[in-house]
Structure 1
Amino acid sequence: MPSAIRVLLIQARRLPEIERQEQQCFLECGRLRPDQLRCVNVTRDALHPDLLDGIDAVLLGGSGEFSATERYPWTESLQTLLLGAADRNLPMFGSCWGHQTLAVTFGSEVRRDPDHAEFGSGEVALAEAGRHDPVFRYLPDRFRVNMGHRDRVVALPPGGIELARNAQPFQAFRLTDRPIYGTQFHSELNARRLRERLQAYRDLYIDVLGPEGFRQAMQAATTPEADELVYRFLCTYTAHR
């Protein structure tokens, strides 16, 4: 990966400590220096096309407080920014809320589905397309991931290809004609970082999962294969920039 690349991280965070933690997570999993990461938070920052100037790739983080099923004062400007990034052929990778936001922006549906919520560590399997994808083909047929979501993508956007699934479809997808990827699981969270995230939203997760469910979610597993995805994505799609 070129040492001079610049990456834009789009966040939707109200808690300052989690905003900073998420930035650190992407620095770690992308093997980036702090000066390579430009951050914008949709909850307070103006979203305008100039944010894409000098940028080689766009990452979208998760969100413990917002849903891709809802519209907010910043939703339209965020979607305009993402469509503008696609027009510039910028590689994009979304994690959890970012995955759902990319799916909605490019024409699919996301649904609030608490009956199929996933928290803690789980396993997903490569779809056939994943075995041939330039980013996912390095993964084993089944691999561990860290998760935390109540919303899910229920249909692929036009031109979407499923890359991974478990009992739920579309755990990962990409667009056929553009370097745009999403993972429902948190590709930026290793076991330690997942426990930090769960602890930060402890009251919310105990309300959703109950005390025993929260305890189980805190027993996060190591996810070495998934931990490589953001780095492989950046290596694959920024080497020529």
Structure 2
Amino acid sequence: MKPFLILQLRPERAVSDNEYEAILAKGGLEAQETIRVCLDHETLPDGLSLSDVAGVIVGGGPGCVSDPPESKDPVEARIEATILGLMPEITAHDIPFMGCCYGIGILGHHLGAPVGQDKYGEPVGPVLCEQTPDAEEDPLLKGLPQRFHALVGHKEAVEALPEGCVSLLSSAPCPFQMIRYGANVYATQFHPEADAEVFDFRIKAYGHKGYFAPHEVESILDACRMADVSVSGEVLRRFVARYRTGSDPAGDSAADQAQFRAEG
């Protein structure tokens, strides 16, 4: 079986490790099934060919592709250039891709869509996502509830649907919560790998990044703990299942689908 290439952007080692463990847990992956690259201090492996991986998963991070170039931290600028350097091959050959939060900005920017910080940013916490008509037959969403909660927290967002993409999920504050380009290139504005415990860790680590005021921490944590985000994690599990084996992940979990529909 081909490994999944997991690209991480977070310079805080403890947060990066926590995110990696969350991706493994929610995706149903073992560490030996992955190639992990922490782009804040590592480069892509020599000789890496995307044809040799089952798919690419990009984690989140504090950087924004919409920041003015002159204001970008050099490490964040290098990370951005590295991932953007992969996108032409990924989109041209429809290589399985799951961009989480930061990744939707990368995909949108690569495809020429406006990405900015003036319209659709969302505060840290749970948000209610809703399927669009195009989601009904998508293998990552088919059979899941029409509405479910996910965890978000982002300053920038895609401001118009990129050319060649379909919109799969939306929320009231942000119209593009999940998009797909071609058949296999996905990006989410929400964090499919995250649950309340993961966000608890990140909230405490990113208190100085301007996502929220210090006095808001406890109320944000309470909201995250109260939200059921199990369905959003199913999106990542299905992505891994689909490209690990080439089977239809929506067809392999009828009992889970019935449970999700009942709970939704």
TM-score, normalised to structure 1, is 0.88
C-alpha deviation, 1:63, in angstroms? 0.4
Look up the match of 2:257.
none
Post-superposition offset of 1:53: 5.4
Which ranges of structure 1 fall in alignment gaps of 5 or more residues? none
Q: CA deviation at 1:87?
A: 4.0
2:125 aligned counterpart, secondary structure? strand
For the Cα contact (< 8 Å) 2:124–2:151, is it kept in 1? yes
Q: Distance in 2 between matches of 1:111 and 1:155?
A: 10
- Among the aligned pairs, what percent are the same residue? 25
Give the Cα–Cα distance (whole angstroms) in 1 for the partners of residues 147 and 240 of structure 2. Answer: 22
Question: Do the aligned partners of 1:60 and 1:99 also contact (CA within 8 Å) in 2?
Answer: no
1:172 pairs with 2:178: yes
- What amino acid maps onto 1:69 in structure 2? S
Q: Unpaired segments of 5 or more residues in structure 2?
A: 70-76, 248-264
Q: Aligned residue for 1:103?
A: 108
| Cα distance change, pair 237–115 in 1 and its aligned pair in 2 (3 A) | closer
* Partner of residue 210, structure 1: 213
Given the alignment of the two structures, is residue 54 of structure 1 paired with residue 52 of structure 2, yes or no? yes
**Pairing 1:19–2:9 present:** no
Query: Aligned pairs, how many?
Result: 234
Give the secondary structure class of the aligned counterpart of 2:208.
helix
SS at match of 1:38: strand
Question: What is the CA deviation profile of residues 109-155 of structure 1, one whole-angstrom value per residue up to 9, with x for unaligned ones?
Answer: 21113874221112111111112211112321110101111111111
| Deviations 1:168-211, CA, capped at 9 Å, x for gaps | 21111101x2301111011110121111111121233xx54223
* CA deviations over 1:56-95 (Å, ceiling 9, x no partner): 100010002x112135234333212232234443200011
* Structure possessing the higher radius of gyration over alpha carbons: 2
**In 2 relative to 1, CA 67–170 (structure 1 residues): closer, same or farther, beyond 3 Å?**
same
Q: Distance in 1 between matches of 2:245 and 2:130?
A: 28
User: What secondary structure is seen at the aligned counterpart in 1 of 2:212?
Assistant: helix
Distance in 1 between residues matched to 2:32 and 2:78, nearest whole Å: 30
Give the counterpart letter for 1:165 in structure 2: S
Q: CA RMSD in A?
A: 2.1
How far apart, CA to CA, are the structure 2 residues paired with 1:78 and 1:166? 26
Matched to 1:151, the amino acid is E
Q: Which letter does structure 1 place at the counterpart of 2:216?
A: G
Instruction: Look up the match of 2:165.
Output: 160
Shift of 1:26: 0.5
Residue 182 of structure 1 is matched in structure 2 by 187
